[in-house]
C-alpha cells in the first residue's frame, strides 16, 4: 500500500469525530504508530499445540506485554462472523480477576469482534485479556489492526507505511509488531492530521 493511500485511509477512519470520542473515553491523544491488514486461516488441530512464538497468530488467551498500559488497539473486521473465528476480548473489569490466562473459565463473558467493515472496535491489550479466534475450516478472517500509543497530540507516525509486515521464515509467522513502543518509535517523526 502506498504512503498516500495509507494516510488517506487513516485520515478517513480516524476522523475528527472519532478522535474526539477516543480522547473523551480514554483521556488521551494518540500517535497511530503501526497498522497491519491480515488474514487468519484455519489451523488444523494437530498443529495448535505449539509454543507461543510458533503460533501463526495469537490464538491463546493473553495480555500484550511489554507495552504502555494506555496503548489502544483498534480493529476493523472485514468479513468476520462467528464461523471466521473472531477476535475475543474480556472486558477490563473481568480481566482484572484473571491471574492465569491459560485457565479462562468456559462461561466467561467475552466480546466477539465481528463485522463486515461496518464496526470499529478498540481495547487496551495490556489490561484486557484477548485472543484471536481460529476460523472454521474453509473460512478466512480478514481484519485491520492499528496500534495507538499515547502522545501529546493526535498524529500519524511518518514511518507507518514502512513497517509493513514481513514473514519470519524460520518461524513461519508474522513478527513485526514492535514491542516496547516508547523505544521502538522514539526517533520517528510524526505528522499532524489534516483537519
- Rounded to an integer, the average pLDDT of 124-134 is 94
The pTM score is 0.86
More confident residue, 39 or 18: 18
Which percentage of the chain shows pLDDT scores above 70? 87
Question: For position 19, what pLDDT does the model report?
Answer: 98
Given a cut of 70, whether residue 184 has pLDDT beyond it is: no
Helix (H, G, I), strand (E, B) or coil at 103: helix
Given a cut of 50, whether residue 133 has pLDDT beyond it is: yes
More confident residue, 59 or 164: 59
What pLDDT digit, counting tens, does each position of 80-92 carry?
Answer: 999 999 999 999 9
Confidence of residue 169 (pLDDT cuts 50, 70, 90): very low
Q: For the chain, give the mean pLDDT.
A: 86
Amino acid at each position: 500500500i502506498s504512503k498516500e493511500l495509507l494516510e488517506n485511509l487513516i485520515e478517513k477512519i480516524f476522523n475528527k469525530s472519532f478522535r474526539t470520542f477516543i480522547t473523551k473515553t480514554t483521556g488521551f491523544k494518540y500517535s497511530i504508530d503501526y497498522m497491519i491488514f491480515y488474514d487468519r486461516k484455519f489451523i488444523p488441530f494437530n498443529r495448535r499445540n505449539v509454543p507461543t512464538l510458533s503460533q501463526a497468530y495469537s490464538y491463546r488467551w493473553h495480555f500484550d506485554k511489554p507495552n504502555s498500559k494506555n496503548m489502544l488497539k483498534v480493529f476493523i473486521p472485514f468479513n468476520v462472523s462467528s464461523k471466521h473465528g473472531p477476535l475475543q476480548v474480556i472486558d477490563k473489569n473481568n480481566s482484572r480477576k484473571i491471574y492465569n490466562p491459560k485457565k479462562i473459565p468456559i462461561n466467561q463473558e467475552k466480546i466477539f469482534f465481528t463485522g463486515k467493515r461496518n464496526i470499529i472496535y478498540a481495547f487496551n491489550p495490556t489490561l484486557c485479556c484477548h485472543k484471536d479466534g481460529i476460523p472454521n475450516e474453509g473460512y478466512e478472517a480478514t481484519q485491520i489492526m492499528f496500534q495507538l500509543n499515547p502522545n501529546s497530540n493526535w498524529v500519524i507516525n511518518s514511518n507507518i507505511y514502512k513497517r509493513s509486515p514481513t514473514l519470519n521464515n524460520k518461524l513461519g509467522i508474522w513478527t513485526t509488531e514492535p514491542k516496547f513502543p516508547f523505544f521502538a518509535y522514539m526517533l520517528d517523526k510524526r505528522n499532524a492530521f489534516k483537519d
